[in-house]
Chain A
């Protein structure tokens, strides 16, 4: 085959859809920490979070050529992460995570919940955050974790959680108060 016989459309370009080495490397390096963190705080277990993050990138790699880029890469990876974590949680029957749910935190969060949040000892902060998140309803937990990622817009958070941006804003206010109340209880 000669060069002249090659159709111009077939010429490979870095922007062409499909797998591109450097592009996927960049996807990994820019998102691995965020994906792992989301999985960690949703599952509450570092080994399971590592497994989930591994599976997220393998699935992303497999479907990279089908990624339409209508959403941001971060949103796409988060969607895969959420699906994976929800499947894992279902299969494990929430043996550990939902048992600590405290209804009073979201039905009657204390109006004077501490704000700002102050911690004297940061060494065990992760553990306290995990305890706090596990005491919240799943909806609040997910909302706070997603909104905390500054790379996501409210619209993207709404898309990931299947609700309107107004609903996100309204629930976020209650989720913050519930978090502050629950966090104070972990001291």
Chain B
């Protein structure tokens, strides 16, 4: 029979890293405490498309040709 108290003791005796590693292996996936936390994770892992920056750069260059330099600096040119 499984003894929950022995499991609990075992977990507390292990170093934190080992407990986290074991948890990651036995419980795949991610747990979010709130919708906002989930949305923050989603936002952080959703980069803008690579085509956006050149489009904006081109549009702003047409807006003000004399003020292009910030894009060059941004791109290291």
Contacts and interface: CB of A to CB of B under 8 A. Distances in A.
A53 interface: yes
A72 interface: no
B: interface residue count bin: 35 or more
Contact of B48 (A32, A41, A119, A180): A32
A91 interface: no
B51 A50 contact: yes
A118 interface: yes
Contacts of A179: 35
Interface string B61-77: 00110010111011000
Nearest to B71: A25
A125 B45 CA distance: 10
Contacts of A175: 35
A185 to B, nearest CB: 14
A117 B32 CA distance: 5
Interface string B2-15: 00000000000000
Interface stretch (A4-12, A79-87, A98-106, A140-148): A140-148
B29 A117 contact: no
A62 B64 CA distance: 9
Contacts of B59: 54, 58
Interface string B30-47: 111111111111110111
Contacts of B48: 32-33, 36, 50, 53
B73 A22 contact: yes
For B52, B59, B71, which residue has the most chain A Cβ atoms within 10 angstroms?
A: B52
Contacts of A125: 38, 41-42
Interface string A120-163: 11100110010000000000000011011110000000000000
Interface of A: 19, 21-22, 24-25, 28-29, 32-34, 36-37, 40-41, 46, 50, 53-54, 57-58, 61-62, 115-122, 125-126, 129, 144-145, 147-150, 175-176, 179-180, 183
Interface of B: 28-43, 45-49, 51-53, 55-56, 59-60, 63-64, 67, 69-71, 73-74
**Which 3 pairs between the two chains have the least Cβ-Cβ distance?**
A21-B70, A148-B39, A120-B29
Given A53-B48, A54-B52, A150-B40, 8 more contacts: A33-B43, A50-B49, A50-B52, A54-B56, A117-B38, A125-B42, A148-B35, A176-B35
